[in-house]
Amino acid sequence: MRNLHSKNTVRYYLFIVIILAFFFFSNDFGLIDVQKTAIVMAVGIDREEDSFILTSQIAIPQSSKQGKTTETVQLVSRGKTVAAAFEEINAKTGWYPKLVFCNLIILGSKTAEQNVFDALDYFLRDEYLSDDCLLATCDGLAKDILNVTALVDPSGATAMQKVLSPHAERVGAVLPSTLREFAIGYFSDSRCGFLPIIKTEPQQEKIDGENNSSSQGSPSDKQSGGNGSDAGSGSGSGSSVGSESGSDKSGSGGESGSGGEQKKNDKPVFSAGETALFLDGKRVEKLTREESFAFSAVTNSLRLANYSVPSSDNTCTLIIKQNQPKTKLSVGKNDRVCLKISVVLTAGVSDYSKSQDLMNISDAGDLPRGVLQTAEKKMSAEITRVFDKCRLSGCDLFGIQERLTKYEKEHADRLADTALVGAIVDVEVRFRNVR
């Protein structure tokens, strides 16, 4: 018996080598032929009657000898289905679209008016697209958003991904959603979800007296340089008129000239503080920035998030170190659903709108009397407004139906249609000093 196994050992190893060689030579190892493949970085989906209009942001690799970074172009295609629209890219350019590097999908306003999964079904079926692909919507055309050249990055898709980053989620600046998370909400019993609303904002806002100071061209304006402008606007770029005169005197060319500086200042930045609510795949409601932050405090883990509390003579900005949300559901008499939302936030002082004396500055742990109580009332009212919007729109973002199914099975079927509408919500917010 041993001799039989010893004779077949060589055959076993030979068979294993053949199998490994087959897998080795049949795998592309993620390599892409850039001459034949369109590397899709982001997709915008708009609708026009019964057609889908796709705007694909495609990366075009540059030669390393030229010393240039990868450039992007936007290709617009149309089809009765999303798959047909992607196929049109191949017909127009000879490139085959590859979605393995696609990290962002934007839904236009017309697309959000109807069931967005008419379009998203294709991406769920595509085995090469990651389920962690970011999903967002906008108030206008997705094509226009993707065509924007932002200040922080030449590629609009990359700039938007920075706005939707995990860090922005931790500080409560945005409520991002991925394709997997949005699909889970849609196919659940509640059939609801949320998406961030991508918007463009001007890089520089006008300040009172800015035109007068710029026209005078005072030395202080020239010395201020880029201190008053956003990051990435270039050094020594003060106001547009001041920098223009300085450029003329120095005779420097390129971006330091008046035309280049003005063009640079015209580039917008992206924001995604507002949140759209979806029911049955259709957009039905919107949360403001403050309401989105309050919902983050209930559902997410906040770290180093700023929260401003106004008062009669001063505004205090608290820095939230951590939050401890807790949600409990119960069914009372007459089958009335009760939802208790409690949030404990550990916070300290970050800044005041007015100057403080030396003792208060050196001991940042002491809070003025009434600041924490005002913050508790403010956030409690914001959470209540979020729940009221969910109730009126039918979006069960707080998971009432899911909790009924898990913990109150005997009431789940009977209260399925009335649980959210007739629910009693009790919100309790408590801020405690970091010290």
pLDDT digits (tens, 9 = 90+) for 318-366: 899 999 999 998 888 778 889 999 999 998 888 777 776 666 665 655 6
Average pLDDT over residues 183-187: 94
For residue 289, give the nearest of 196, 165, 159, 397 by alpha carbon: 196
Q: Which pLDDT score, from 0 to 100, does residue 8 have?
A: 75
Q: Enter the tokens of residue 222.
A: 């020239």
Answer for the pair 269, 277: CB distance below 8 angstroms, yes or no. no
Average pLDDT over residues 83-111: 89
232 DSSP β-pair partners: none
pLDDT digits (tens, 9 = 90+) for 285-300: 999 999 999 999 999 9
Q: Enter the tokens of residue 137.
A: 């919507």
Average pLDDT over residues 141-170: 88
Task: Tell me the pLDDT band of 220, cut-offs 50, 70 and 90.
Answer: very low
Q: Which pLDDT score, from 0 to 100, does residue 416 have?
A: 79
Average pLDDT over residues 148-158: 80
pLDDT exceeds cutoff 60 at 251: no
Q: Which pLDDT score, from 0 to 100, does residue 259 have?
A: 46
The residue ranking higher by pLDDT, 410 or 63, is 410
Q: Which pLDDT score, from 0 to 100, does residue 215 have?
A: 46
For residue 336, give the nearest of 428, 384, 404, 394 by alpha carbon: 404
Lowest-pLDDT choice from 85-94, 111-120, 191-200, 387-396: 85-94
Q: How far apart are CA 104 and CA 214, in angstroms?
A: 40
Answer for the pair 273, 175: CB distance below 8 angstroms, yes or no. no
Answer for the pair 315, 302: CB distance below 8 angstroms, yes or no. no
Q: Which pLDDT score, from 0 to 100, does residue 144 have?
A: 92
For residue 145, give the nearest of 218, 230, 74 by alpha carbon: 74
Q: Which pLDDT score, from 0 to 100, does residue 66 have?
A: 56
Average pLDDT over residues 34-45: 78
Q: Which pLDDT score, from 0 to 100, does residue 61 have?
A: 65
The residue ranking higher by pLDDT, 249 or 127, is 127
* Packing angle of the helix pair 179-186, 117-125 (nearest 10 deg): 120
Answer for the pair 98, 32: CB distance below 8 angstroms, yes or no. yes
The residue ranking higher by pLDDT, 310 or 428, is 428
Average pLDDT over residues 400-421: 83
pLDDT exceeds cutoff 70 at 418: yes
Q: How far apart are CA 377 and CA 369, in angstroms?
A: 14
The residue ranking higher by pLDDT, 349 or 384, is 384
Q: Which of 9-18, 125-134, 255-264, 393-402 has the highest mean pLDDT?
A: 393-402
* Residues with Cβ within 8 Å of residue 137, at least 6 apart in sequence: 106, 107, 108, 109, 111, 112, 195, 196, 197, 198, 276, 283
Q: Which pLDDT score, from 0 to 100, does residue 380 have?
A: 96
Taking the model in full, what pTM does it have? 0.77
The residue ranking higher by pLDDT, 346 or 267, is 346
Percent above pLDDT 70 for the chain? 76
Average pLDDT over residues 265-273: 84
Task: Tell me the pLDDT band of 182, cut-offs 50, 70 and 90.
Answer: very high
Q: Which pLDDT score, from 0 to 100, does residue 225 have?
A: 41
Q: Which pLDDT score, from 0 to 100, does residue 224 have?
A: 39
Task: Tell me the pLDDT band of 35, cut-offs 50, 70 and 90.
Answer: low
Lowest-pLDDT choice from 26-30, 132-136, 264-268, 273-277: 26-30
